[in-house]
């Protein structure tokens, strides 16, 4: 059987009930088995020495096609052979003569176009037995991986073709140069501190913060000259440790880019055009160099593609940052492109219009007394207002916009008193109101309500005067009053409409803010929780609004992290909502546990997870809680979504069981979506627990079999769907694990009809 570690990168998993509300229950379930799986971790050492430019993660699926004997694969085999040969030739070219043109790269592009036509005409095969038959999903993953590498290799060749400024040019620097840089940095810091004119780079961030001069001083203060002076034998040996040279050069590159940024305003440029700042800039330019090479970046990129672990993610992210801050323009372009390729949203949520409208509050009918003054006349009466609600989506290419549409039918019966006269009126007003609501990182933002009257009627139904019954005088008084009423009627209508509109707008604004406030508080609490507990930021990405769908995309990242590099799975027809999570997110969360090299009992790790994720149930006692283990220092826990399954790889440096210590091994557990006996979607362990570098296979398989039992699947149906009657018609379904994503949708139960459509069917039947 082929090692799962060699498979191409796939889908991710999400944790923490905190990281979403409805569909995020999936994340809790997936992370729960990571918690219980704290008992294992792979004991693999960092394969830095094995880094190479060859795309091993891409090689495996291509060779599976070439070596397959299935009849349906035959049209693909020749194309895949061409791809493998061209890739091998290109990699040899990159390793030996990267500065020369590479004709094979252009030929590879043409072959990929042919591959794309085959990919779009292929059908999905779900068979797991017999000869290997690629699915449309597998071909799609290969296609995107090929496209990504072609672009990266092009930028790589451009970068290698130019003359760079290597770090060795700084080997002549000594600690006197460090002191001079420190003096000029201190002068800039004092210039910023004593100036009375504060110029911000952006709201909330001064230019002093933007250039980070205080951090510069801290860094330079730490560069102490050794007690014994270094004797410089030749320029091939640096007088300052290479690590310090790399750090100072990288920071100099970054600071110069900020000083020369085209985004600076004229006011900011004028403020920075000062002799003290210019002297600092001149000194910084003498420290600029290329701290890493494009070859290093490609090596770490291919390593990360193979493992998907956080150790390799952090290394690649740091290399991207350093390359993006290089002195050489082509180096920066390569780094920026790779960051862009691995910087797409890692959480996507699709929300349909029917789902929102199904769960809007029902129409409201209210009867109340009122007292008002219309045209200086006191008026009292009763009114009945009937309101209906609907949510519509406002199409926008980059914003998440909805509008709450309200229709109000207002009927009134009133009495106004004038001199010796009582007027009885009836009225009916139809109002249409709209309030726009936008979802942002800060929560839901609203615009003032807009309202207009589409129908308004006022009718005098009765008149009483104190002169009724008095011959001649009664008719005269009634005639005068009626004439005055009719002459003032237009102004009365205008004033009445104005007051009705003001009242409707104010009430809708108040009710909307009242309902959105607790949701916004939860969003802020979630953002704060992610920042404080996991040092992660939540940023909105390429979100959009369609006529029937809200498409929200979020990048959840932190320091030295990467996001998605592949498109998310398509949303299937029949979905009310669809949550999609990339594998980079759960690996980030696991990395925040800092398991590298950590030692403790299974019980200790379970308690740590329960506290970190605020899930007390995770610390429930179980068998083998007293097992003592030490996680590996390299990629201790890795979560991947591979071939339609969740793959959990745990690397352990040492595990003590029954006075025996097992060292440097890894356990691999696979889970796949399935339905339990009651028809609920669950995440079920699939097959045996894989063990690598383990001698006592029988004993360790029994241990891990109890840690990850087949009898304990993880439910993928949130409890709210089962406990809340208004969600009785919904369940989870359309589970997809492809291209590094885990997707789960809300769908209609086969035997249920949503309330929104129930009324439509009943009315149609009538």
By mean pLDDT, which of 53-57, 133-137, 690-694 is the weakest?
A: 133-137
Q: What is the mean pLDDT of residues 682-706?
A: 87
Q: What is the mean pLDDT of residues 342-349?
A: 94
Q: What is the mean pLDDT of residues 33-40?
A: 35
pLDDT of 406:
93
By mean pLDDT, which of 220-229, 263-272, 492-501, 563-572 is the weakest?
A: 220-229
Give one DSSP letter per residue of 488-525, joined into a string.
Answer: HHHHHHHHHHHHHHHHHHHHHHHHHHHHHHHHHHHHHH
Can you give the length of the chain in residues? Answer: 766
237 pLDDT higher than 90: no
pLDDT of 611:
84
What is the distance between the alpha carbons of residues 298 and 91, in angstroms, rounded to a whole number? Answer: 11
pLDDT of 18:
33
3-state secondary structure at position 295: helix
What's the half-sphere exposure (Cβ side, CA atoms, 13 Å) at 331? 25
Using CA atoms, how far residue 39 sits from 316, 645, 703, in Å, is 28, 21, 9
pLDDT tens sequence across 138-149: 888 899 999 999
By mean pLDDT, which of 180-194, 403-417, 494-508, 700-714 is the weakest?
A: 700-714
pLDDT of 9:
30
Q: Bigger pLDDT: 24 or 454?
A: 454
Alpha helix segments (H runs only) across 97-241: 103-120, 136-160, 175-194, 207-211, 213-221
666 pLDDT higher than 70: yes
Residue with tokens 């690649």: 316
pLDDT of 112:
87
Q: What is the mean pLDDT of residues 648-675?
A: 91
- Mean pLDDT, rounded, of the chain: 84
pLDDT of 554:
94
Quick one: DSSP state of residue 222?
T
Counting runs of H as helices and runs of E as strands, what totals does the chain give? 21, 23
7 pLDDT higher than 50: no
Q: Are 647 and 3 in contact (CB under 8 A)?
A: no
pLDDT of 578:
95
23 pLDDT higher than 70: no
Q: What is the mean pLDDT of residues 15-39?
A: 35
What is the distance between the alpha carbons of residues 464 and 424, in angstroms, rounded to a whole number? Answer: 8
What is the distance between the alpha carbons of residues 492 and 585, in angstroms, rounded to a whole number? Answer: 62
765 pLDDT higher than 50: no
Q: Which helix (H) or strand (E) holds 427?
A: strand 421-440
pLDDT tens sequence across 100-116: 888 889 899 888 888 88
Q: What is the mean pLDDT of residues 58-85?
A: 89
Q: What is the mean pLDDT of residues 240-249?
A: 91
234 pLDDT higher than 70: no
Q: Are 626 and 14 in contact (CB under 8 A)?
A: no
pLDDT class of 586 with cuts at 50, 70, 90: very high
pLDDT of 664:
92
pLDDT tens sequence across 291-331: 999 999 999 999 999 999 999 999 999 999 999 999 999 99
By mean pLDDT, which of 23-32, 398-407, 458-467, 552-561 is the weakest?
A: 23-32
59 pLDDT higher than 60: yes
Tell me the angle at which helices 242-259 and 213-221 cross, rounded to the nearest 10 degrees: 170
By mean pLDDT, which of 554-558, 678-682, 723-727 is the weakest?
A: 723-727
Q: What is the mean pLDDT of residues 454-475?
A: 81
pLDDT class of 130 with cuts at 50, 70, 90: low
pLDDT of 491:
86
């Amino acid at each position: 059987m082929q090692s799962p570690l060699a498979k191409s990168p796939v889908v991710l998993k999400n944790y923490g009930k905190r990281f979403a509300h409805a569909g995020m229950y999936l994340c809790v379930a997936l992370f729960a088995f990571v918690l219980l799986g704290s008992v294992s971790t792979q004991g693999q050492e960092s394969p830095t020495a094995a880094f190479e430019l060859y795309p091993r993660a891409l090689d495996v699926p291509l060779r599976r096609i070439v070596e397959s004997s299935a009849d349906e694969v035959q049209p693909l085999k020749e194309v895949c052979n061409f791809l493998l040969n061209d890739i091998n030739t290109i990699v040899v070219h990159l390793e030996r003569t990267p500065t020369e043109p590479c004709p094979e790269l252009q030929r590879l592009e043409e072959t990929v176009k042919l591959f794309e036509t085959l990919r779009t005409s292929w059908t999905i095969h779900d068979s797991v037995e017999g000869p290997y038959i690629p699915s449309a999903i597998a071909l799609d993953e290969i296609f995107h991986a090929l496209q990504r590498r072609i672009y990266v290799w092009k930028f790589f060749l451009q970068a290698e073709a130019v003359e760079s400024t290597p770090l060795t040019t700084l080997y002549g620097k000594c600690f006197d140069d460090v002191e001079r840089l420190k003096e000029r940095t201190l002068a800039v810091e004092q210039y910023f501190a004593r100036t009375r004119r504060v110029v911000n780079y952006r709201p909330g961030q001064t230019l002093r913060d933007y250039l980070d001069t205080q951090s510069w001083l801290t860094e330079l203060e730490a560069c102490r000259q050794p007690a014994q002076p270094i004797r410089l034998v030749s320029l091939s040996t640096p007088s300052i440790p290479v690590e310090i040279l790399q750090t100072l050069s990288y920071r100099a590159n970054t600071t110069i880019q900020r000083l020369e940024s085209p985004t600076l305003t004229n006011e900011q440029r004028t403020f920075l055009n000062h002799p003290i700042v210019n002297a600092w800039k001149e000194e910084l330019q003498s420290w600029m160099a290329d701290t890493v090479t494009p070859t290093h970046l490609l090596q770490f990129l291919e390593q990360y593609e193979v493992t998907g672990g956080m150790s390799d993610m952090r290394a690649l992210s740091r290399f991207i940052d350093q390359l993006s801050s290089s002195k050489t323009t082509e180096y920066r372009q390569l780094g920026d492109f790779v960051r862009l390729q691995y910087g797409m949203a890692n959480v996507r949520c699709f929300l349909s219009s029917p789902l929102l409208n199904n769960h809007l509050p029902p129409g409201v009918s209210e009867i109340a007394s009122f007292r008002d003054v219309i045209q200086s006349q006191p008026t009292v009466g009763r009114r009945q207002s009937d309101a209906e609600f609907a949510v519509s989506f406002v199409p926008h290419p980059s914003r998440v916009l909805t509008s709450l549409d309200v229709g109000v039918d207002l009927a009134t019966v009133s009495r106004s008193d004038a001199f010796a006269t009582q007027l009885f009126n009836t009225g009916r007003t139809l109002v249409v109101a709209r309030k726009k609501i936008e979802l942002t990182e800060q929560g839901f933002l609203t615009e003032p309500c807009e309202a207009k009257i589409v129908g308004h009627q006022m009718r005098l139904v009765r008149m009483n005067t104190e002169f009724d019954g008095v011959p001649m005088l009664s008719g005269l008084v009634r005639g005068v009053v009626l004439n005055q009423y009719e002459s003032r009627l237009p102004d009365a209508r205008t004033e009445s409409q104005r007051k009705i509109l003001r009242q409707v707008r104010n009430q809708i604004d108040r009710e909307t803010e009242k309902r959105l406030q607790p949701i916004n508080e939860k969003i802020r609490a979630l953002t704060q929780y992610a920042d404080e507990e996991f040092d992660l930021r939540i940023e909105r990405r390429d979100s959009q609004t369609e006529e029937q769908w809200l498409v929200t995309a979020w990048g959840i990242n932190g320091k030295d992290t990467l996001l998605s590099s592949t498109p998310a799975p398509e949303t299937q027809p029949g979905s009310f909502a669809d949550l999609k999570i990339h594998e980079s997110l759960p690996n980030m969360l696991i990395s925040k546990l800092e398991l590298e090299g950590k030692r403790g009992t299974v019980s200790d790790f379970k308690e740590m997870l329960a506290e970190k994720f605020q899930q007390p149930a995770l610390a429930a006692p179980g068998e083998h809680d007293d097992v003592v283990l030490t996680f590996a220092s390299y990629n201790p826990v890795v979560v991947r979504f591979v071939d339609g399954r969740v793959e959990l790889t745990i690397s352990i440096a040492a595990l003590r069981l029954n006075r025996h210590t097992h060292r440097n091994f890894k356990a691999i557990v696979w889970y796949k979506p399935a339905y339990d006996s009651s028809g609920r979607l669950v995440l079920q362990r699939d097959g045996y627990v894989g063990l690598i570098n383990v001698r006592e296979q029988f004993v360790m398989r029994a241990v891990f079999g109890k840690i990850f039992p087949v009898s304990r699947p993880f439910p993928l149906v949130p409890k709210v769907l089962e406990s809340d009657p208004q969600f009785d018609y919904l369940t989870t379904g359309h589970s997809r694990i492809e291209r590094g994503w885990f997707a789960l949708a809300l769908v209609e139960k086969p035997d249920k009809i949503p309330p929104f459509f129930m009324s439509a069917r009943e009315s149609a039947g009538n």
